[in-house]
Homo-oligomer: A and B are copies of this chain.
Amino acid sequence: MKATDFDAWAQQQLVDVERALDAWVPADVPAGLGEAMRYGVLDGGKRLRPLLVLAACQAVNGLGAAAMRAAVAVELIHAYSLVHDDMPCMDNDVLRRGKPTVHVKFGQAQAMLAGDAMQALAFEVLTPMANERDAARQPPQQAEVPAALQARLCALLARAAGHAGMAGGQAIDLASIGQALDEAALRDMHRRKTGALLQASVQMGAACGDCGAVAWQALAGYGATIGLAFQVVDDILDVTQASETLGKTAGRDQHHNKPTYVSLLGLAAARDHAEALRQQAHAALARSGLGDAASVLAVLADKVVERES
């Protein structure tokens, strides 16, 4: 796939994702909650998880309307985790996507509630209801999603977000501060903390189509691999980039005395590791048998490793 073709595809998808997020995250919630939710998720972020959902759906020729719901839902889960993660009792970060964090702008209580409501909203988005009283809040272009697919998407997302996935990884992360983790323990932490949701993004997209067992397993492997690559690159960028480029506080891993791939392997070996994972991701796509349909996923693997913020 040519870089220009990918860019055109991604640009169109991002327009659609932003429009769907804007339509789904309500402005008209009392007491400022809607404002805090919208602040936490709109106009920011690379939207990597939505792009993975949509690219995986395209790779299996899946149901686009379902994938767009999944894309919105997974981004809501990601965004809520950042809102909670930034709070004083967790990482105590004041800068995110180049703006003050949600708790700095709206207060801690509202930030906690906004995160909680964003998680619930993710599952609302996945389960459209007919005759809903608040139908006015739903984007008009939403097509019907089969109930079995709704349930499957909820199942994948809940497991990736919960104790076995993201929340569990964050608990390990908390406990690891100041600890010396070996590479296996570090990998386990990141497999849960960031990897599970990235992998689930690919799986949710694949679930929107009729995907055979071979392709399903290959795509799950691809998702796990880029999930790990994403974190290795995150650790590299934390020490090599300035805060302005990252849009968040640079050097915070070291500041928080957190174990990272760079602190464990050194910078050069961490870069080699990221490159090896990129190759593994491509190999997984080759195994999938999906051919050219998976070419967007291939470019996304490159983007994950080559990104500079």
Contacts and interface: CB of A to CB of B under 8 A. Distances in A.
Interface of A: 26, 29-34, 37, 80-81, 84, 87, 89-90, 107-110, 112-113, 115-117, 119-124, 126-129, 134, 147-148, 150-152, 154-155, 157-159, 161-165, 167-168, 170-172, 174-176
Contacts of A89: 107-109, 112
A158 B30 contact: no
Q: Which of A26, A159, A163, A164 has the most CB of B within 10 A?
A: A163
Contact of A175 (B32, B34, B148): B32
Given A37-B163, A151-B147, A162-B120, A109 B168 contact: no
Contacts of A129: 152, 155, 159
Contacts of A80: 116
A117 B155 contact: no
Contacts of A122: 158
29 contacts: A29-B164, A29-B168, A30-B172, A30-B175, A31-B171, A31-B175, A31-B176, A33-B163, A33-B171, A89-B108, A89-B109, A89-B112, A110-B171, A113-B167, A113-B171, A116-B116, A116-B167, A119-B119, A119-B120, A120-B167, A121-B158, A121-B163, A123-B157, A123-B158, A124-B155, A124-B162, A127-B154, A150-B151, A154-B154
